[in-house]
């Protein structure tokens, strides 16, 4: 069974109530959901400011995909994006894509540029 790396865009939609609760709970129940330290670094600071300590504890207990950033690969991803007309993809999202590919994870995201990149990178996206 494939592990699903849940991007911060999904978590934010979930916290705001604009994503059905079962979208994540089903993955949690199936023990398929994982995160990484980059995604946590995007989410945790604002949760701590909002005093959501139990939520932070829950997120930090999730399985974590190890990050091994290959900077030359990140550069080649961005070059290919620009050649294909995909602009404004941040370095953090390139690292998330690299992490998903390296660890053979399926990415659950709401960001449209990942769909565009999956057309020419070996990135697998979760379809709920």
Look up the CATH number of the domain holding residue 18: 3.40.50.1010
Identify the band that residue 100 occupies on the pLDDT scale cut at 50, 70 and 90: very high
First-to-final CA distance of the chain: 15
Count of domains observed in the chain: 1
d(CA 113, CA 10) in angstroms, rounded, equals 14
Which residues does 11 contact at the CB level (< 8 Å), separation at least 6?
39, 43, 59
Q: Which pTM does this prediction carry? A: 0.94
Which residues does 49 contact at the CB level (< 8 Å), separation at least 6?
none
Decide: helix, strand or coil at residue 50: coil
Domain that holds residue 52: 4-125
Task: Decide if pLDDT at 34 tops 90.
Answer: yes
Task: Decide if pLDDT at 1 tops 80.
Answer: no
- The residue-averaged pLDDT of 98-125 equals 97
d(CA 66, CA 103) in angstroms, rounded, equals 8
């Amino acid at each position: 069974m494939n592990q699903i790396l849940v991007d911060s865009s999904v978590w934010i939609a979930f916290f705001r109530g604009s994503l059905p609760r079962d979208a994540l709970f089903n993955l949690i129940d199936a023990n398929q959901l994982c995160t990484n330290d980059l995604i946590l670094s995007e989410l945790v600071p604002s949760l701590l400011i909002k005093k959501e300590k139990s939520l932070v504890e829950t997120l930090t207990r999730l399985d974590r995909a190890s990050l091994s950033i290959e900077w030359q690969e990140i550069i080649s991803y961005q070059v290919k994006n620009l050649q294909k007309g995909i602009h404004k993809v941040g370095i953090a999202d390139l690292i998330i894509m690299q992490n998903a590919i390296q660890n053979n994870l399926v990415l659950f995201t709401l960001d449209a540029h990942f769909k565009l990149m999956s057309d020419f990178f070996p990135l697998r996206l979760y379809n709920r």
